[in-house]
Amino acid sequence: MGVHILSTGSSVPNFSVENQQFEDIIETSDHWISTRTGIKKRHLATSSISLTKLAAEAATKALNQANINPEDLDLIILATSTPDDLFGSASQLQAEIGATKSTAFDITAACSGFIIALVTASQFIKSGSYNTILVVGADTMSRWIDWSDRTTCILFGDGAGAVVVGKSSVNSILGFKLCTDGRLNSHLQLMNSPLTSQKFGSTAVPKGKYDYIKMNGKEVYKFAVFQVPAVIKTCLNDLNLSIDEVDWFILHQANTRILEAIANRLSIPFSKMITNLENYGNTSAASIPLALDEAIKDNKIQPGQIVVLSGFGAGLTWGAIVLRWH
Ligand code: UT7
């Protein structure tokens, strides 16, 4: 049973913020941000834009492109760590796009979310359980940023990216590997840190309240530069493919220096790395499908080419998928 990526779509909020605008609120500079991260601007969801709306926009574009009616979807998987509803926003997305016959659930895995969601979708198709699945990676990290913390606030942007996958005689997903190391969890967290306590009788029962994103940038940087090339190599070895046979690498867009270091470690030209960090910053679960959608629209990725997707981030989690584009 083949798993075919039928179409892609993406969406970002209209409101964008240039690096210079941070100079007014924190001690930073356009020069520091662009040379240390590669980011020039990011899009932020204002109060009228919900995570569900962004996800629905990306999803609708992907469905239209594949000429698929929302009612024909069997399953929706929404990868997000910033749902509008803590119980999950996939149901809201299902209602928003009118996919009345599909089941829907969320996957929470921050910047690795889209990779995990796409692998999950492919397993449902391979097992014959479902025929047509919408996979969306969407995050509104701006809702969880401490705007006075210069080590994180300049990095993130909001967005959504979607793919429709279907059962097919051609197979797009050749292989994958997913990894987790929970011992490194404290390097990147958005913790539930109850400030107020409620009482059940005389027993304190804390009231849930999530704090801000906290990251040990140096540790996450080192982890990404070491683990991502390793997981890509393992995936390719398992498929008897050499690194030179890969046409494009679409990695989580966290930092251009990370992408350069990974390209060096893999001994590949940087021109094979698809990057759009400059315009969007780190959009967490949206970054890979957003970059994939742009690369397809720009006619970079051609039928028959081999594409490696790789995500990494909170958990810490990381993983890679090898695609043959059809
Ligand atoms: O999506 C999840 C995955 N996330 C990532 O992959 C992020 C990985 N980490 C990174 O991308 C980088 O570590 C950062 C971009 C977060 C930081 O870059 P860095 O080169 O590792 O900087 P640093 O933390 O070593 O800081 C260097 C200096 C420090 O000053 P001192 O101690 O040398 O005086 C920081 O306080 O830069 C300072 N700094 C800033 N200066 C101006 C930190 N943030 C800023 C800032 N503007 N925004």
Band the pLDDT of 285: cuts 50, 70, 90. Answer: very high
Q: Of 187, 235, 252, 255, which is the active-site residue?
A: 252
pLDDT of residue 9: 98
137 CB near ligand 1 (under 6 Å): no
Ligand 1 centroid to Cα of residue 265, in Å, is 21
CA of 112 to the centre of ligand 1 (A): 21
The lowest-confidence range among 15-19, 49-53, 206-210 is: 206-210
Measured in whole angstroms, the distance separating CA 310 from the mean position of its chain's CA atoms is: 10
- Is residue 214 scored above 90 in pLDDT? yes
Please give the pLDDT value at position 1: 78
Asked if pLDDT for residue 144 goes beyond 90, the answer is: yes
Calculate the alpha carbon distances from 42 to 72, 103, 323 in Å. Answer: 34, 32, 28
For the question of residue 237 being annotated catalytic, the response is: no
What is the reported pLDDT for 199?
87
Spacing, Cα 116 to ligand 1 middle (Å):
27
Residue spans of alpha helices (H) in the chain: 30-37, 51-66, 90-97, 113-126, 217-238, 256-266, 277-280, 287-297
Cβ atoms 139, 287 nearer than 8 A: no
The answer to whether residue 294 scores a pLDDT higher than 80 is yes
Q: What is the pLDDT of residue 204?
A: 87
Please give the domain boundaries of the chain with CATH numbers for all domains: 2-170 (3.40.47.10), 175-184+214-324 (3.40.47.10)
Is 69 marked active-site?
no
Give CA–CA dist 305/67, Å, rounded.
24
Active site annotation includes 185: no
Q: How many Å apart are CA 220 and CA 207, to the nearest integer?
A: 30
* pLDDT score, position 206: 87
Mean residue pLDDT of the chain comes to 97
Is the pLDDT at 198 greater than 90, yes or no? no
Share of the chain above pLDDT 70, in %: 100
Name the band, by pLDDT with cuts 50, 70 and 90, for residue 140.
very high
For residue 213, what are its two tokens?
Answer: 């994103």
In whole angstroms, give the CA distance from residue 98 to residue 106: 17
Q: Output the residue whose Cα is nearest ligand 1's atom 14.
A: 217
